[in-house]
Structure 1
Amino acid sequence: MTDQTTPDIIYTKVDEAPELASASLLPIIQRFASAAGVSVGTRDISLAGRILAAFPESLTDDQKQSDDLAWLGELVKTPEANVIKLPNISASVPQLVAAINELQGQGYAIPDYPESPSSDAEKDARARYDAIKGSAVNPVLREGNSDRRAAKAVKAFAQANPHRMGDWTADSKTRVASMSSGDFRSNEVSATLPGAATAKIVHVAADGTETVLKDGVSYPAGTVVDATFMSAKALDAFLESEIAKTKEEGTLFSLHMKATMMKVSDPIIFGHAVKAFLAPVFDQFGDRMKALGVNPNSGLGDLLARVKGEADIMAAIDACMADRPPLYMVDSDRGITNLHVPSDVIIDASMPALIRAGGKGWGPDGKEHDANCVIPDNSYAPVYDETIKYFKETGKLDPATAGTVQNIGLMAQKAEEYGSHPTTFEIPADGTVKMILDDGTVLHQHSVEAGDIWRSASARKAPIEDWVNLAIDRQRAEGCEAIFWLDATRAHDAELIKYVTPVLEAKGVADKFKIMAPREATRATLETIRRGENSIAITGNVLRDYLTDLFPILELATSAKMLSIVKLMQGGGLFETGAGGSAPKHVQQLMEENHLRWDSLGEFCALGESFKFLADAKGNAKARVLGEAVEAATQGILDHGRSPGRKVGQPDNRDSHYWFARYWAEALAAQSDAADLAAEFAPVAKALADGEEAIVSELAAVRGKPADLGGYYHADPAKVAAVMRPSATLNAIIG
């Protein structure tokens, strides 16, 4: 730990819409918390903040940024941790470059992002930037396993006010396409280490030349260590075939990846798709485009920007696109396709949205169409494939009567694929990749070809056992169906099952749980919630991510309203405020119309849990009263329809914060067990009620006009505060 003073609760500074909302909500939280002697401080894990922290020698003393992520990484390993973690940007290269350019324009003398580093200085800068991109935050903070579920008030509201679901028909052409061989799923091998070990990863070329890809990878005893690869040739053949099939079927071509979290492997796969879609153009102009700086991994948008002055290349692209199937669109009004930016289409959000819409995606013509959902690796594609097949057979789900799916996710200590970035490599030449332990044992090896994507992932014994015990606790508390989503025919899952079954048997609860492969578990769970019953999905790290978007989007219309508790293994608490990304479209709307439609319900849910956790950890009875009053305020937001509207002219995020503060104050003023809190907040509640007309009017007055934030990735705090706190009446009451 550093010598920084640690507040009772850390509220993370992040990016985009959640950070804008914080400028309005955090002053309210801090004012109310102070009444219970609770300090609420911030630490900066935003993309811009992480960039600045990485280059202190390039900055003036006034510009220097502390490495708050590293500081938090130490805090979460202690019992004192109480962190409310908002969604942050998991940056793709285009986002990273855009943030760098903005910071440079603001006078920060940080280096450019070197696409092809040659000098030592460029290689050093590239290494620092590579540590920032992708999911750099979550693996550091998640020193515990995940307990995600819909808060009871949120679920009850969703059932009483069901959202619209698209109609599914048996003749829908929408389908999932995935590789049947040559992918990560089919090439996976796995082993559990009997003792602690250190490994190196070596590439042996066909001529015998050995290259150490990674050295000194250490594992404690009991670690499950996987290795696998995706064949570049098999991937290219698959993509070529699916492009042709999509055109023949008359559907949209859509690629669904995770190029943010899987920051090494998935951008490469994305690049293969861009190259496959424009294959005739690359065949004819590949060398020229490379000289222009084209890297297909950066997406079609970057490619078009680099070749826009080359008339013959642009003509070839137009001709190729006219001959291809139409692309699934991110923004059809602006011509942003599925292949434009690798971080624009993230599978755990894009697939549930398409499924909720009845299998429809937006085409370049601005209309909805069936789609071919291309998910190259077959490890988790069966979940979406089975969901689509199920709804074709049974019709759409009814949110008014559907049960709920909770999730217990194995994610502590960089578990599974999401922790594999340092051990993922694009293979430079034909040969063999070996994973060799320090005693000389070859743990895993694969024959590979140039361009193949090889990776190793691991899951440690302590997090696995903690995950199983957390599942037992949750099943006991809920008393409902509980399924371990593990496939005995998959190498990695087979090793996990060897941990799961002995623990269940030793605790006498084996009859309370099922172990099912993801495809079968998907159908069983859908049938359960269609009956109005509940289920607990106990999954690995990637399925945790996928399912905690899929089921909430079907049940609640969004995953941003989920209660997400990380019980840290050393006794602290991490309270995540739901998924949903950082909502760049929300920021765009605010900048154009001064309307922020971000819904802070996830923050409300996390805040209540954080206060109650603090009450138990520090014996602060007032903190528990605050937490229970937060729950009452959240219920008030839902019951009275105080969530933000989508369009300018409707109440927005700032209005919802006013109502949250008012309901919170009213709940505290009504307290009979905390007279001093009641006395303090009675006049606050009265002032908020008496000031309703003025506050609502002041909030409405600013909307409909452009808003100046002073930056996108690195906004000006004073300008943001002026935009997000425009009510003088409310500000005077809150202080």
Structure 2
Amino acid sequence: MSDARPNSIIYTITDEAPALATHSFLPIVSAYASTAGVGVETRDISLSGRILAQFPDRLTDEQRVADDLAELGELATKPEANIIKLPNISASIPQLKAAIKELQQQGYDLPDYPDEVTGADDEDVRARYDKVKGSAVNPVLREGNSDRRAPASVKNYAKAHPHRMGVWSSDSKTNVATMGEHDFRSNEKSVVIDGDDTLTIKHVATDGTETVLKDGIEVLDGEVVDATYMDVAALRRFLTEQVARAKAEDVLFSVHLKATMMKVSDPIIFGHVVQAFFPTLFEQYGAQLKAAGISPNDGLGALLSAVEQLPDGEAVKAAVQQGIADGPTLAMVDSDRGITNLHVPSDVIIDASMPAMIRTSGHMWGPDGEEADTLAVIPDSSYAGIYQTVIDDCRAHGAFDPATMGSVPNVGLMAQKAEEYGSHDKTFEIQAAGQVQVVDSSGTVLIEHDVQPGDIWRACQTKDAPIRDWVKLAVTRARASGTPAVFWLDESRAHDANLIAKVEQYLPEHDTDGLTLEILSPAEATAYSLERIRKGEDTISVTGNVLRDYNTDLFPILELGTSAKMLSVVPLMNGGGLFETGAGGSAPKHVQQLVKENHLRWDSLGEFLALAVSFEHLAQTTGNARAQILADTLDRATGTFLNENKSPSRKAGEIDNRGSHFYLALYWAQELAQQTEDAELAKAFADLASTLADSEEAINDELLAVQGEPADIGGYYRPDEAKATSVMRPSKTLNDALASLG
């Protein structure tokens, strides 16, 4: 597919609730944008689309799809890039397998995901699927660093209409448990590359056998290269201790990982947690489960489903129930359906689950459907301390007050696969005792670790240009907002020490007079920011890639009740713009409700915010004055939308995502009709504004009439286009009004 036109916006087609919402909202966007001569193009980066793009040789001409993600990755490096990125599935293995199964049922000749690689064919299929699973999208598109903040309209609304916060008790037993030694943080080594080079990662066994794990790793001058490993024997000891601790302290046991973004390491860690919680089960049936291809890495839910086919299936299920009875009380994802914290590795994602727990009095849900204090197990200690600091602060000072608390916007280092999120292709589960070495082209060993079978070793890269751009963006945001900025870096951690040196090198390139710029460890930076928050003061967190993810959920969930209401701008390093629309962690539950009762409670506010800055960026880069008017009027319309409380309700029979889109369209049309910069544009929207206002009751009646009954969208991972459009655009009156604008 050809590159996007300079005067156009690329709208991504993704997954689950955001994709369904797009069927409703995109016709509005396209109609309004057309009045400014702005084209709106789509690219499919959904999980199903990414899967199909990997297997053109197995599909018919009609079934083949373009590799839109690869195309967008190229576009992101060009000045004309203007991409609106909606949340997509970062697929765990169970999700990937479920998507493959659905596509097979829809008639696509796809191979099964090979759990075991036994030949060249399996190796080829696994390699193709490995390009799709986990965080396959973000590292490709993020050719810039992240600027995430709560827009003034959103923050003001949250203060005027504060969300509910659970009450904290000073004797709360909720805590974080983390290793602190023998983990990724403590074993990390870091080097700065002197001159462009090509690196090799190899394993040298104790008998001298050398195995190349990965070669041809291109690095640039000034690039930071890190490597580390988790000692799995120490991990198992730690997990066994935490299971016993949770039982002794009579608190819920939960584990919090990132099994989607850290798609190689964290599912393995999750599997060790499952085994540690059910030691007797795996002592008795571990060999049988392994022989049947059943992996604890896929979670308790997959295990219970798979053992149905085993001769000892009932005995295995009985052993699971006995393990639950013998262990501490497990935190639940869905107590009504019996879905535990250990059922699915992608169900409990740390950056969403920990803030939700903190917001709810430090509680998670138990199997009895009641809240309870919790031991939150975060094995690696790199960032666990930020959550313990917040918990300690709430225990000492009580819950935060959304009506008065300050804000913590974020400037995040993420460009060009920076830091841990770029480690997927350099993460290995060690097969034999020995050493893992990172070697340069001259044969010099830059980094080496002694390892044992089962240890999880990983390396990652952080290029110098993104670091330099990150420092620039931090200073720019601090200057623009008049807000202190804190670099969350720990001088005692190997990677951070190298980043601190670069920050100190690049800060003098900028005018920092009058700015407050600090460098603090993550725990210290958390405490500093919390002290200011409680006084109603703002503090910019300037962080690496993982902390960017954590902080842009943690603070918005406490401040706003959700991270979906954040403005997320990625100024691409070559002049383009990537505009992200919020997190999608709750999207699966929203789809389930839509299918059950034709009510989609997904909130598209993040899209409204992203679209406004996308129009603004286009206006600034192309000189399109009407695009700026669209941006300004959309921003004002969004403020009205919030003040009029037209966000979706959770209950069927009340306003949902489709109704919120109607009201946004109404308020936007009214703003466009009233603006005075462009009389012709005002005239074009005057009739539409009048029609929508006069038809408000009729449109609402049409939108509400379909609710309460099941909805057929033709597929979860790849909905039928016609069915999804029919479900998401049920108001003929609204559809006709939009068509009249064209």
Q: Distance in 2 between matches of 1:280 and 1:209?
A: 36
Report the equivalent of 1:667: 671
Counterpart of 2:643?
A: 639
**Matched residue SS, 2:541:** strand
Q: Map of 1:550-561 to 2, 5 A cutoff?
A: 550-561=554-565
The answer on 1:192 being equivalent to 2:192 is yes
Q: Distance in 1 between matches of 2:553 and 2:397?
A: 21
CA distance in 2, matches of 1:707, 1:18: 16
Partner-residue secondary structure (3-state), 1:185:
coil
* Cα shift readout 1:636-659 (whole Å, capped 9, x = no counterpart): 110101000111122100000000
For residues 149-183 of structure 1, give each alpha carbon's deviation from its aligned partner in whole angstroms, at most 9, with x where no partner exists. Answer: 00110000000000000011110010000002110
Report SS of the residue matched to 2:459: strand
Alignment of structure 1 residues 122-141 onto 2, 5 Å: 122-141=122-141
Query: How do 1:314-325 and structure 2 match up within 5 A?
Result: 314-325=317-328
1:291 equivalent in structure 2: 291
1:372 CA displacement: 0.3
1:719 matches 2:718: no
Offset at 1:285?
Answer: 1.2
SS in structure 2 of the partner of residue 555 of structure 1: helix
Cα displacement (A) at 1:582: 5.9
Q: 2: distance between equivalents of 1:385 and 1:236? A: 22
On the 8 A contact 2:12/2:85 being kept in 1, the answer is yes
How many residues in Structure 1 have an aligned counterpart in Structure 2?
A: 735
Q: Quote the residue 2:610 is aligned against.
A: 606
Partners of 2:256 and 2:353 within 8 A in 1 = yes
Shift of 1:7: 6.6
Contact in 2 for aligned 1:184/1:377 (Cα 8 Å): yes
Match of 2:85 in 1: 85
Given the alignment of the two structures, is residue 415 of structure 1 paired with residue 390 of structure 2, yes or no? Answer: no
Deviations 1:263-305 (A, max 9, x none): 0000000010011111111111111111222101111001111
Shift of residue 313, structure 1, vs aligned partner:
1.8
Q: Is the CA contact 1:176–1:384 (under 8 Å) kept in the aligned structure 2?
A: yes
Q: By how many angstroms is 1:505 displaced?
A: 3.2
Q: Is the 8 A contact 1:7 1:41 kept in 2?
A: no
* 2:458 is aligned with 1:458: no
Displacement, 1:81? Answer: 0.1
What is residue 452 of structure 2 aligned with on the other side? Answer: 449
> Once the 2 structures are TM-superposed, how far is the Cα of residue 2 of structure 1 from its aligned partner?
4.3
Task: Tell me the residue number matched to 1:505.
Answer: 508
Kindly provide the amino acid, as one letter, of the partner of residue 501 in structure 2: K
Equivalent residue number for residue 628 of structure 2: 624
> Equivalents in 2 of 1:64, 1:351: separation in Å?
40
1:372 to 359, 370, 375: 375
- Per-residue CA shift, 1:184-235, capped at 9, x if unaligned? 0100011111211111011011111110000111100000110100001000
2:344 paired residue among 341, 344, 349: 341
Q: Which residue of 2 aligns with 1:486?
A: 489
Residue 381 of structure 1: aligned partner: 384
1:653 aligns with 2:660: no
Equivalent residues of 1:143, 1:568 under 8 A apart: yes
Residues 465-510 of structure 1: CA distance to partner in whole angstroms, max 9, x if unpaired?
A: 0000000000001111210000011100000001101222343527
Q: String of CA shifts for 1:334-379, please: whole Å, max 9, x gaps.
A: 1111111111110000000000001000011111111000000000
Checking the alignment, whether the CA contact within 8 Å between 2:45 and 2:69 is kept in structure 1 is: yes
Aligned pair 1:706/2:727, yes or no?
no
Secondary structure at the aligned position of 1:405 is classed as coil
Q: Secondary structure at the match of 1:432?
A: strand
Give the partner amino acid of 2:675.
Q
Read off the aligned partner of 2:702 and give its amino acid letter: E
Give the corresponding residue for 2:541.
537
Structure 1 residue 306 displacement after superposition: 1.5
The alignment status of 1:688 with 2:692, answered yes or no, reads: yes
Show structure 1 runs of 5+ residues with no match: none
Q: Are positions 1:440 and 2:443 aligned together?
A: yes
Cα deviation, residue 679, structure 1: 0.5
Relative to structure 1, is the Cα distance of residues 531 and 35 closer, same or farther in structure 2, using a 3 angstrom cutoff?
Answer: same
Q: Does 1:180 align with 2:180?
A: yes
Amino acid at match of 1:726: P
Aligned partners of 2:582, 2:306: CA distance in 1, in Å?
37
Give me the whole-angstrom Cα distance separating, in 2, the residues matched to 1:661 and 1:528.
Answer: 38
Q: 1:355 aligns with which of 347, 355, 358?
A: 358
Return 5+ residue gaps in structure 2 as ranges: none
SS at match of 1:361: strand
Question: TM-score of the superposition, structure 1-length normalised?
Answer: 0.99
1:240 is aligned to 240
Asked if 1:404 corresponds to 2:407, the answer is yes
Contact 2:203 2:434 in 1 (8 A): yes
Task: Show CA shifts across 1:547-589 (max 9, x none).
Answer: 0000000000000010000000000000000123361000000
SS of residue paired to 1:597: coil
SS of the equivalent of 1:144 reads coil
Residues 224-276 of structure 1, C-alpha deviation per residue, up to 9 Å, x if partnerless?
Answer: 11010000100000000000000011111100000000000000000100111
Q: 2:429 aligns with which of 419, 426, 429?
A: 426
**Following TM superposition, by how much is the alpha carbon of 1:632 offset from its aligned partner in structure 2, in angstroms?**
1.1
Partner of 2:480: 477
Q: Which residue of 2 aligns with 1:301?
A: 301
- Take 1:204 and 1:503, find their aligned partners in 2: how far apart are those partners? 38
Separation of aligned partners in 2, 1:623 and 1:540:
33
What one-letter code is carried by the residue in structure 1 that aligns with 2:467? I
Name the counterpart of 1:589.
Answer: 593
Query: Secondary structure, in 3 states, of the residue corresponding to 2:352?
Result: helix
Counterpart of 2:738 in structure 1 is 734
Letter in 2 for 1:329: M
Aligned to 1:521, which of 513, 522, 525? Answer: 525
Given that residues 324 and 330 in structure 2 are in contact (C-alpha distance below 8 angstroms), is that contact kept between their aligned partners in structure 1? no
Letter in 1 for 2:381: N
In 2, Cα distance between the equivalents of 1:43 and 1:311? 46
Mapping of residues 22-101 of structure 1, within 5 Å: 22-101=22-101
- Give me the identity figure in percent: 60
What amino acid maps onto 2:364 in structure 1? G
Equivalence map 1:194-273=2 (5 Å): 194-273=194-273
Whole-Å separation in 1 of the counterparts to 2:509 and 2:732 = 61
Opposite residue 679 of structure 1, the aligned amino acid is K
Secondary structure of the residue that 2:26 maps to in structure 1? helix
Q: TM-score, normalised by structure 2?
A: 0.98
Partners in 2 of 1:142 and 1:508 — Cα distance? 27
Q: Kindly state the Cα deviation for residue 692 of structure 1 after the two structures are TM-superposed.
A: 0.6
On the 8 A contact 1:256/1:347 being kept in 2, the answer is yes
8 A Cα contact 1:349 1:580, kept in partner: no
Alpha-carbon distance in structure 2 between the residues aligned to 1:263 and 1:408: 24
Which deviations, in whole Å up to 9, do the C-alpha atoms of 1:418-468 show, x marking residues without a partner? 000011100001101111100111100000000000011111100000000
Deviation at 1:619, TM superposition (A): 0.6
The CA distance in 1 between the partners of 2:509 and 2:16, in whole Å, is 47
Check the 8 A contact 1:87/1:582 in 2, yes or no.
no
For the 8 Å contact 1:558–1:580, the answer to whether it is kept is no
In the alignment, the residues of structure 1 paired with residue 665 and residue 499 of structure 2 have an alpha-carbon distance, to the nearest angstrom, of 46
Asked whether the 8 Å contact 2:7–2:618 carries over to 1, the reply is no
Give the aligned partner of residue 679 of structure 1.
Answer: 683
Give the partner amino acid of 1:189: K
For 2:64, the aligned partner's letter is K
